[in-house]
Amino acid sequence: MKSKLHNRLLACAFSLSASAISTQVHSGAFVHLFEWQWDDIASECENHLAPAGYSAVQVSPPQHSIDGSQWWTRYQPLSYQIQGRSGDRNAFASMVSRCQAVGVDIYVDAVINHMAALDRNFPLVPFGSQDFHECTDDINYGDAWSIQNCDLVGLNDLKTESDYVRGKIADYMNDLIGLGVAGFRIDAAKHMPAADVQNIVSRLNGNPYIFQEVIGAGGEPITPQMYTHIGDVTEFNYTNTIGHYFKGRGPLSELQNIGVWGGWLASEEAVVFVANHDNQRQNTANTITHKDGTNVNQLAHIFTLAWPYGYPKVMSSYDWSDHDQGPPGSGASACNNGWLCEHRQREIANMVGFRNWTDGEPVQNQWTNAANGNQMAFGRGNEGFVVINGDRNQGLQQTLYTGLPEGEYCDVIHADFIEGQCHGASIAVDANGMATFSLNATSASALYTGAMIDGEPGGECVYNSMYLRGTFNTWSSQPMSCNEGLWETTVTFSADGRFKFDAFADWSTNWGDANADGMAGAGEADMLVAAGAYTISFNDASLSYTVLPEDVSGGDVSVNFTCDNGYTYPGQSVYVVGDHPSLGSWSPADAVKLEPNAYPSWSGAITLPEQTSIAWKCLKRDESNPAAGVEWQGGANNAVQTAAGANASASF
């Protein structure tokens, strides 16, 4: 789904009646793939997260931890080695690289407040008794010293004021940054003084994204606001409030002022979520989960992804019957045997596209049903409009002013909008901006200008992704680029070989050609080709394809590349990276540097082979350390057909 890049959000102030909602600094939404294995996450980035527009994945703690089937064993580290039930170090590094290549960042859940509940001796770090606080009493949450110096439920509390301990923690996090990790959730940050956290973060390479788990509770001496100068903070007021209203304990109409209530974090400081891995198990009665049924979890996420407060995280978990239950034994990517894959559900995944498109737009054109406070609607500028019927017994039939331009819109709650085509229900907006909504109980509709059936299409390819697999790459997945309705890529066969087209790089939807007639068929035999270099094109609407020999003796041409909105810090620059050796073959270390000729716009001419289809992206990284400060341009890969004087541009 196409993403709209609004760069005016930092200057935008949201107005809501007489109140003002804080500026939404973070674009997009990320997902927590709780207890997923590294290779499954890599495939998910390529096949589902990048096409849906997710910005990042929060992964479970990767460090060596105690044995046990329970989920919480991951939060009892024994060392800072990268090993555990999600996979080894090589699998972790491969996951990070594959996700980066499609524009999805990796955030690591960093357990740095404590080690496992053992005997204060961890020789693999090494940590000894001198590296831990001595207090083993139960924590008194009315006393700041106790909160930050005593063992949390028996977990050995690290002496984070120690320079040695700080160094070991920073070494671990920098090791992950060196593997390409883009950010960290700092677990139990509340149990460390803010000065300790700040010191550790100051030692990190580059500029990783930081958000900190600080659970605010009335009357406690440690508050979330104490940590906002370091990075973002989890806003538990949000999850508690969403639970209250979407469980039917108050009318949804009261959510019209969410985010501006006293004591809440400012939007630009907050990470928000319907549920996280802790409270969905420990406080299920007050937290929205899949167990609420009747689409309630979906409605709560629709609201969260549509409303411009904080940086939203989607929780994707597995079913459980008791608090301690660990993950299913099978891999998560099949989304069965207990894996829930909430992030793939149409209502949630399509709202990520809605959020990306409406980013920076104010809340306006609000409506609530005076006779039923659980029926509400609001717009995001003139770009999007959402209607939510939270009533569990009563339908909704209403004509509302949307503020949207006239046209036919794909209702992305009930349909998929794939490159200009709506696969499901649509809703018409008339010349006056009015539309009629007809919803069942616990249902919703969402429209946005990026999903206009008769508006500007996002492209002419039917699928959001396409890969070429064959003997030339030992049947791994080479991304193809969509160019005017054709998927294209250039490959070289060193010997006579075979290939197929694969929509999602998982063999679930693939095409071959048993008849060798230039028409691909689902699940047909491999296509045959002689040794040589070829440009291979595939029309995924007509299923026709062409294989054209490349003129390997052709000359080189200069292509002008521009990357807009490339804001950087000192020592960081903008580069071009792509699927051709001249552009580093997707390696940040070998990317080609641009110049800030009209900062924050970066540009430069790069010599490439003539008449070659190349996939590429803009990339930020440190000049001196290619593994630090890495930030990929979001969304799908860009494509350029090289020719003398050709121009290729994109934006962060």
> Which residues are catalytically annotated?
187, 213
- DSSP-assigned letters across all residues of 100-161: HHTT-EEEEEE--SB--SS-S-BTTTTB-GGGB--B-SPP-TT-HHHHHHB-BTTB-BB-TT
Helices 163-178 + 194-202 axis angle, to 10: 50
Q: CA-to-CA distance for 192 and 178, rounded, in angstroms?
A: 25
CA 22 to CA 10: how far, in whole Å? 10
For residue 436, CA distances in Å to 239, 240, 402 come to 31, 33, 10
Residue 355 token pair: 């959020």
CA quadruple 385, 634, 42, 470: dihedral, nearest 10:
110
Smallest CA-to-CA distance from 453 within 397, 415, 398, 402 is with 415
Which value, in Å, is the radius of gyration of the alpha carbons in the chain? 25
| Residue whose pair of structure tokens reads 């008339």 in the numeric block | 430
Residue 472's SS3 state is helix
Identity (one letter) of the amino acid at 234? T
What is the token pair recorded at 142? 């009315």
- DSSP-derived secondary structure for 526-555: PEEE-SEEEEEEEETTTTEEEEEE--TT--
* Inter-residue contact 330 to 336 (CB < 8 Å): yes
Distance CA 115, CA 187 (A): 12
**What would the two tokens of residue 532 be?**
């040589």
Q: How far is CA 611 from CA 215, 535, 548, 557, 591, in A?
A: 56, 10, 12, 9, 21
Question: Parallel, antiparallel, or unpaired: how do β-strands 510-512 and 521-522 relate?
Answer: antiparallel
